[in-house]
Structure 1
Amino acid sequence: MTKPLPPLLHLIKQLIAIPSVSCVDTRLDQSNLAVIEQLAEWAENLGFRCELMPVSTPHPDIAKWNLIATLGTGSGGLVLSGHTDTVPYNLERWQCDPFSLTERDHRLYGLGTSDMKAFFALCLHAAREFCHTPLQHPLIILATADEESSMHGAKALIKEGKPKARHAIIGEPTGLRPVRMHKGIFMESIVITGVSGHSSDPRLGNNALEGMHRVISDLLQWREEWKSHYHHAAFNVPIPTLNLGHIHGGDNPNRICGDCELHIDVRPLPGMDLNELKALLHQRVRQVLIDTGLTVEFIPLFEGIPAVETPANAEIVRIAEQLTAHSAEAVAFATEAPYLTELGMDTIILGPGNIEQAHQPDEYLALDRLELMLAILRQAITHFCVKKS
């Protein structure tokens, strides 16, 4: 027997009130278990079967969990997916309490309103209308951990090989426009070690900074080569990018630089394999330094997220375009879509928030987006779970 679901704004308020920051800095990192347990309680009250999946992270004392809530049985079906964590926040920059839902100027303010706790409340309210409807295919609500920091939650799904479904919608903030592709990303540290010495005689040392100069020149040449080999007109920046984001070397002008470190950010297009790119990066850097006597070490700063592209003719893309009256787009930010794709789902990103509000003080979600998103979710559930395929 199902139980009544609280009003939509009450659900959003409850989710926003539960802190669930994920961060690579353990001083800021928090558990998401309270959010998962609250979602599971509401889902079970609607008749969903709930599985809480522990997620292994480098911080074992901070509990991280995924939730797989399933209504109905069988194969195929639809996954409505989101992450339960938020980014850290600067309290002094907020004009309201980040953990207290504030309604003002036809907007809902709070940490996670746009990115993306409110999406779970919308999913549950859309799902409650199907609790007593015979489903031809299952409806699954998926809630993950650590999307904002490490993707440990999504990686745990790959390890377990679930959930299994045919189609997926990830409710990241897209302004109610369907997104079927995004670039990948990885970040790497390149550390060159030489020999320090007195600057008056170069023979006394081996300058790591000069070695890094060679490396940077080659990386910029590699980036130029990409322009001739890779292009995707769907993206605002239609080429892969390589950014030189941070460098530090040496300690004083009168000492030969003994070590130098460079941080880079690479964002490949769909079709460019992350592992192949990393291998080629390492090969090129080592080749540049082969006769210098310098040593080099590569340290992953962020292992990365693959690029993703769901075919334009996929059913989930066509239905999303019909429901939103917008053609599917490409975005620069990364999501959990590659992991759901790896699990066998055709995946789109479609949510009520705007990416411009994500990760910002006074994050908000426009009130008029709620009913619009509910209508889209109801129709998507009807199409993929109720109608016979």
Structure 2
Amino acid sequence: MQKLPDLPHMFNRLLSLPSVSATDPALDTGNKAVIEQLAQWCETLGFKVTLQPLGHNKMNLWAELGSGPGGLLLAGHADTVPFDEGRWNKNPLAMTEKDGKWYGLGATDMKGFFALVLSALSDMDLTNLKAPLRIAATADEETSMDGARKLAEANPFQPALTLVGEPTELKPIGRHKGHISAGIRITGKSGHSSDPGAGLNAMELMHGVLGDLIVLKHELAERYCDHHFAVPHPTLNLGHIHGGDNANRICGCCDLHIDMRPLPGMSIPELEGLLKDKLANVEKAHPGVLHWQHLHDPCPSFVSPDGPWKSEVSNFLGLPVESANYATEAPFFASLGSEVLVLGPGSIRQAHQPDEYMEMAQFKPAMALVQNMVKRLCLT
């Protein structure tokens, strides 16, 4: 009978396959190679594999042992953020072991999770399942979360519990904020800098927008509060700005990208309304110069429904269910009708960083968690 490669081989192999998700098409590689490798390994373990094409060299995977409702779903994303190799001291596309850590792009966020899951399952007898066991891997979590959205639309199964293996240091997360990314563009009128009245300086108008958004940032902190979170209020981040093309030319166009994180209970339209109100000052003074749009579809906030499995995971780990300031695919998996926890090895502090790594000390407890939940949900 064919066997899976060992853990270091699988870890290294997944890291070596580029799967960058980026809004810039020049950087985006798609995740197809990673999905095809995961499919092969899942089939080796006896799983029935379904691939969901998403176009542009991208796809989702779900692999199933057994059928019907209930059981366990182990889920995550197969893409990574872009990387600047010049900022890495290790090879980002290979596993490097040093000082009790495995380095590489996706080591913790979150290709390493799949390697640990498959290694844990390869040590188990899965021939007499009482309820189905499933694995899901998605595309574009790092940008649009389109993979998880499309999987949820397909609604292929209804697990009893889903573990989304984001890097939480094996602390269960049952609540997180939403995410909105918006692009704001001001189109003025360019002209020679020696005659300011001959143009309309988009950068100067954007200065007013920045001031209004900073006011909104403080208003959000004053008006809304949820002490479940380390940062208990909604946040607004001014993340990227670009305008103009030359010092002696009136700036004709200026772009700003912002990030907003709503609390559970705040609707996306509510936050959009607050944003539009703050942008109205420039629009009233200069009709037609301001345009804004979502950079990608918003991600809703998430609160896991109460249920017996969430409590059992918490008891097994000896840890309370916590909250996270970041967003994940959890709300889309929750739409399948299951209890959902965000829970995986590695630290979010390593995500999106040069020389990303996962500590080897996380391996055994992560694999023990997977094996325990498989036994509880699928074998007994």
* CA–CA separation in structure 2 for the residues paired with 1:306 and 1:334: 8
Map of 2:29 onto structure 1: 30
Alignment coverage as a number of residue pairs: 380
172, 175, 185: which one pairs with 2:166? 172
* CA–CA separation in structure 2 for the residues paired with 1:134 and 1:23: 42
Deviates more, 1:337-346 or 1:85-94: 85-94
300, 307, 322: which one pairs with 1:314? 307
134, 138, 143: which one pairs with 1:144? 138
Query: Do the aligned partners of residues 210 and 357 (structure 1) sit closer, same or farther apart at CA in structure 2, a change above 3 Å counting?
Result: closer
Cα contact 1:49–1:70 (8 A) shared by 2 = yes
Q: CA deviation at 1:87?
A: 2.0
Q: CA deviation at 1:372?
A: 0.8
* CA–CA separation in structure 2 for the residues paired with 1:128 and 1:202: 70
Query: Do the aligned partners of residues 47 and 315 (structure 1) sit closer, same or farther apart at CA in structure 2, a change above 3 Å counting?
Result: same
Cα contact 1:218–1:288 (8 A) shared by 2 = no
Q: CA deviation at 1:171?
A: 1.0
Cα contact 1:55–1:66 (8 A) shared by 2 = yes
Q: Aligned AA for 2:169? A: G
Q: CA deviation at 1:49?
A: 0.9
The question of 1:358 aligning with 2:324 is answered: no
Q: Secondary structure at the match of 1:261?
A: strand
Q: Deviations over 1:330-378 (max 9, x none)?
A: 2222211121122322211111111222222222222221111111111
The question of 1:347 aligning with 2:336 is answered: no
Map of 2:77 onto structure 1: 83
The question of 1:371 aligning with 2:364 is answered: yes
Map of 2:376 onto structure 1: 383
Cα contact 1:282–1:298 (8 A) shared by 2 = no
Q: CA deviation at 1:149?
A: 2.7
Give me the identity figure in percent. 46
Query: Do the aligned partners of residues 241 and 45 (structure 1) sit closer, same or farther apart at CA in structure 2, a change above 3 Å counting?
Result: same
RMSD, aligned α-carbons: 2.7
Q: Secondary structure at the match of 1:351?
A: coil
* CA–CA separation in structure 2 for the residues paired with 1:108 and 1:253: 47
* CA–CA separation in structure 2 for the residues paired with 1:53 and 1:239: 37
* CA–CA separation in structure 1 for the residues paired with 2:232 and 2:274: 21
Deviates more, 1:245-254 or 1:259-268: 245-254
Cα contact 2:241–2:257 (8 A) shared by 1 = yes
Q: CA deviation at 1:31?
A: 3.1
Q: Aligned AA for 1:362? A: D
* CA–CA separation in structure 1 for the residues paired with 2:44 and 2:192: 73
Gaps of 5+ in 1: 57-61
Q: CA deviation at 1:324?
A: 1.6
60, 64, 73: which one pairs with 2:58? 64
TM-score by length of 2: 0.89
Q: CA deviation at 1:192?
A: 2.8
Deviates more, 1:288-297 or 1:341-350: 288-297
* CA–CA separation in structure 2 for the residues paired with 1:26 and 1:216: 28
Map of 1:43 onto structure 2: 42
Cα contact 2:216–2:278 (8 A) shared by 1 = no
Q: CA deviation at 1:255?
A: 7.4
Query: Do the aligned partners of residues 104 and 244 (structure 1) sit closer, same or farther apart at CA in structure 2, a change above 3 Å counting?
Result: closer
Query: Do the aligned partners of residues 132 and 295 (structure 1) sit closer, same or farther apart at CA in structure 2, a change above 3 Å counting?
Result: closer
TM-score by length of 1: 0.87
* CA–CA separation in structure 2 for the residues paired with 1:198 and 1:103: 57
Gaps of 5+ in 2: none
Q: Secondary structure at the match of 1:266?
A: strand
Cα contact 2:49–2:63 (8 A) shared by 1 = yes
Cα contact 2:68–2:157 (8 A) shared by 1 = no
